[in-house]
Amino acid sequence: MVRFSSPVDLEVSMATYNIQYRLAEEPKSYRLELEQDELRRHEAAMHLIVLHFGDSENSLVLPAADSSPDDILAQAELLGLSQIEVSAA
């Protein structure tokens, strides 16, 4: 017999994060909902890189999947993303 999960079993807790940052020295903000308890600065930077540069014809601007947190933040700086601050909403 196959047992299917009930909707209660599938309920996922979402956390909302506010990201304050600068793009080319212009203040910006972004609100993000994720299924994780914490959003670190380098993770926020990766979301911002994909948001602003993910559709770029030159995908070389995206950090490699195995990039370190420092490498991701350095790439963000090169792309003009700076002063990235994360807070829970």
Residue 69: CB partners within 8 Å, gap ≥ 6? 40, 41, 42
What are the φ/ψ torsions at residue 73 (nearest 5 degrees)?
Answer: -65, -35
C-alpha to C-alpha distance for 68 and 7, rounded to whole angstroms = 37
For the chain, first and last CA: distance in Å? 43
pLDDT of the chain along its 89 residues, tens only? 555 555 555 667 899 999 999 999 999 999 999 999 999 999 999 999 999 998 767 667 888 889 999 999 999 999 999 999 999 99
The residue written with tokens 């792309």 in the block is 79
Q: What is the pTM of this model?
A: 0.82
